[in-house]
Chain A
Amino acid sequence: MNILIVEDEKALLSSMTDYLTGTGMHCDTAETLEAALLQISNNDYDCILLDIGLPDGNGFKVIEAMQEKDHATGILIISARNSLDDRLTGLNIGADDYITKPFHMPELIARIKSVARRRSSTERKALIFHEIKLIPDEMVMYIGEKMLSLTKKEHELMVYLINNPNRVLTKEAIAEHLWGDHADIADSFDFIYSHIKNLRKKIIDCGGKDYIKSVYGVGYKFTAE
C-alpha cells in the first residue's frame, strides 16, 4: 500500500513513517505543501495522511489538487483537537476521514485501511487473515467455510485486530477504539478481556486457530506466529 504522509513536525513524521513501514506499507513523506503537491503529481497513492497546518500554506490545497486528478486515493486529515472547522471543511471538500492528535498508531492504521478500502473495488472489501474472513459491513465472520455471527463490539474489535496484525496493541488503544471518550468509564479493560475471551472461544469452536496472544500487562497481539 502506497502512503503519502504530509506533516511538518519531523519527529511525528518519522515515527509515523517507521510505524507504517513496519506494517508493510510504503511511505513517501512531505514536510511542506510544495513538496506534497510535487509528490502527488508524480505518484499515485492509496492514501494520503494530511496535516492541514503546513508552514507554506493550507493543506486543503492538496485535497483540491487530488480532486482534479480523478483519483482512487483516500485522504485522511490529521488535525489538532481545537480545529473542528478544519475537519468539517476538509470533509466537505473531499477528505474521507480525520484523526485528531495525539492518536494511537494502531488507530491510524485502522483508519488508513478503512479509508483505502472504501476507495477500492468491491472484491477487496473483505478482510482476510489466514482462514478468517471478515465482511466489514456485516456482523458475520467466516472461519474457513463456517459462518459465525458477532456482536457489534466483537465485530469492531475483530476489524481492528485484523487491520493491525503482528503489532502489540495496548489495552488503552483498544478501549479508545471501541468506546471513544467513554473508555475511562468503569474498568473497560475487563470488557476487552471478556470480548477477547468470547472471540477466541467462537473462533476455536469453529475450528479456527487462536491468533490473539496476550502480552502480559500491556495488551494483546494478533499474530499467526
Chain B
Amino acid sequence: MKLLNLTNRFYIIVALTLLLVSSVFLAYRVIYLIDTETTEHMLYTKLRVEQQIIAQPQLQKVAFTIGDNIRVEPINRFSTFKVQLRDTIRYDEYEEGLIPFREMTYEQQILGEAYRISISQRLTQNNDLVSGLTITFLLVAIDIIACFYFLNRYFSSSIWRPFYKALDTLKKFDLQRGGQVRFETSRVDEFNALNEELIKLTEKVNSDYRNLKEFTENMSHETQTPLAIIRSKLELLLQSDNLRPEQMEQVHATLDAINRLTKMNRGLIMLTRIENDQYAEEELVEIGALLQSRLEDLELFMQSRGLSVETVLAQDVSVRMNKYLADILVSNLLSNAIKYNREGGKLIVSLFADSLMVSNSGTPLSIPDHRIFERFKRGDSPDSVGLGLAIVKRICDHYHFFLSYRYDEDLHRFYVQFPKERRNNA
C-alpha cells in the first residue's frame, strides 16, 4: 500500500470514528438540554397557573381545562408536595396518531384551597430537532473531512514527489552499466539528507563493484602467462625419458589441476568480457540452425550416455545478438543438459517463436533453484568448473533475455525468452 493511501486511510478511520462518537454525544447533549428546557418550561407554566387562579376569582374552586395541556381540579384535601413527572404516549386527534407527551402532576394549595393540577407538553418537535441537528452536524463534519482528505492528498503528493522520483532513479540504477544517480533538491530536509546518503552509498557500491571487476579482470588476465608457463614446463617434463611411472602420474595430476585452473580462468575472462561489452558486434543469429549444428557436435556425447533426444524447432527464429555469444549460450545450455543428465535420460530441446527451452532428466537440485545460475555452483561432476550457467545468465542479462529455471515431472527445465525487440519475427 502506498504511503499516501496508508496515512489517508488512517486519517479517515480516525475522523469517522470521532465523528460517530461526537454525533452520538451531540445527540445526547441536545436531548438533555431540550429535556431540561421542557421541564423548566412546565415549571414556568405551573407558576403561571397559580398566578391566574389567584388573579381570576372565576377560576377558583372549579375544575377547568386549558387546551390539551392544562387541567385543574379542586380536591378535598392536600396530601403531598411531590411533583410527578412522567413521559407518556397519547392519542392525538389532530395528528391522528400516538404522540409522546410529558406530563407533570402535582397538588397545590392556592388561597387555602387544594387543587390537583396536571400540565402536559408534546415532545415530538423535540425529537425532530434532535435528528435535524445531528444530521446537519454530520453533513458539515463529513464535508470538512472530505475537504481535508483531498487537500492532504494534493499536498502530500507534492511534498512526497521528490521521494518518488528518487525511488524511480534508484530503480533504474544499474551497476553493470556504471550507474550514476542524480536527485533533485527538495524543500524537505529529510529528503535531501536521504538523497545525499543515497548518492554516497551508490558511489561506494560503484567503486566497490569496479574494484571487484578490475580484480577479477586483472587476476584472470595476469594468471594466463604463469599458467601457460607451468603447463609448458610440465608437458616438457612429461616428455623426459627417465621419469618413473609414479612420477609421471604426479606430473599428470598437476597438469590436470592446471587444466581446471585454465578452464576457470577462461570462464572468468569470458564473464568479464561480456560485462565490459566486448562482444559488441551484433547480427541476426538463426537459433534453429545453431541448435542443429551444436546438437550434431554433441551427438557422440548424447549417444554415449544413451540419451533420448527430442527436438521441436520452430522455423525462422532469429535473434539479434553477438554470434559468438549465441554459440556459447546454446552450447552451454546443451552441454549442461548432457552433463547433468542421467544415464538413458531425456533431453528435450524446444525452440518456439519467442523462446527456447532445454530440458533434461535428472535428480532434483541440492541447492535452492535461484542459486543455480551463480558462479561455482556446480553439481556432482568433478570435471566441471561451475561457470557454464553463470555465463548463460550473464549473456541473458546482457541482452535482457528472460531466463528461468524450474524442476518438474523429473525434468530440469531451462527457459530463455527472447524479447520482442531482439527477434526478427516480432
Pairing of A with B: yes
A12–B265 CA distance with the chains assembled, in angstroms? 18
Within B175-229, the residues touching A (CB, 8 Å) are: 220-221, 224-225, 227-229
Within A162-201, the residues touching B (CB, 8 Å) are: 167-168, 170, 172-173, 179, 181-182, 184-188, 190-191
A18–B255 CA distance with the chains assembled, in angstroms? 18
Q: Does B365 contact A (CB under 8 A)?
A: no
- Of A11, A22, A80, A170, which contacts B255 at CB under 8 A? A170
Q: Are B236 and A80 in contact (CB under 8 A)?
A: no
Q: Are A11 and B227 in contact (CB under 8 A)?
A: no
A21–B335 CA distance with the chains assembled, in angstroms? 38
When distances are taken between beta carbons in the complex, the residues of chain A under 8 Å from B367 are none
Q: Are B384 and A184 in contact (CB under 8 A)?
A: yes
- Of A12, A84, A181, A184, which contacts B225 at CB under 8 A? A12
Q: Does B297 contact A (CB under 8 A)?
A: yes
A186–B248 CA distance with the chains assembled, in angstroms? 25
A6–B143 CA distance with the chains assembled, in angstroms? 90
Q: Which of B70-78, B118-126, B149-157, B300-308 contacts A (4 or more CB under 8 A)?
A: B300-308
Given contacts A186-B304, A217-B249, contact A16 B232 (CB under 8 A): yes
12 residue pairs of the A-B complex, CB under 8 angstroms, read: A15-B232, A16-B232, A82-B273, A102-B229, A102-B230, A102-B258, A103-B228, A105-B232, A106-B235, A182-B301, A182-B331, A216-B245
A101–B258 CA distance with the chains assembled, in angstroms? 12
Interchain pairs with CB closer than 8 A, number: 116
Q: Are A185 and B338 in contact (CB under 8 A)?
A: yes
When distances are taken between beta carbons in the complex, the residues of chain A under 8 Å from B259 are 172
State how many angstroms separate the Cβ of B68 from the closest Cβ of chain A: 110
Q: Does A147 contact B (CB under 8 A)?
A: no
Query: Looking at A19, A102, A181, which has the most chain B CB atoms within 10 Å of its CB?
Result: A102
Q: B304-318: contact bitstring with A at CB < 8 Å (1 yes, 0 no)?
A: 110000000000000
A18–B229 CA distance with the chains assembled, in angstroms? 12
Q: Does B56 contact A (CB under 8 A)?
A: no
Q: Does B417 contact A (CB under 8 A)?
A: no
Within A112-145, the residues touching B (CB, 8 Å) are: none
Q: Are B236 and A105 in contact (CB under 8 A)?
A: yes
List chain A positions with a Cβ less than 8 A from chain B: 9, 11-12, 15-16, 18-19, 22, 80-82, 84, 101-106, 153, 167-168, 170, 172-173, 179, 181-182, 184-188, 190-191, 215-219
When distances are taken between beta carbons in the complex, the residues of chain A under 8 Å from B142 are none
Q: Are B269 and A81 in contact (CB under 8 A)?
A: yes
A215–B247 CA distance with the chains assembled, in angstroms? 12
Q: Are A19 and B269 in contact (CB under 8 A)?
A: no
Q: Are A218 and B249 in contact (CB under 8 A)?
A: yes
State how many angstroms separate the Cβ of A225 from the closest Cβ of chain B: 11
- Of A173, A184, A190, which contacts B304 at CB under 8 A? A190
Q: Are B238 and A170 in contact (CB under 8 A)?
A: yes
Measured CB to CB, the nearest residue on chain B to A167 is B239
- Of B221, B231, B300, B383, which contacts A191 at CB under 8 A? B300
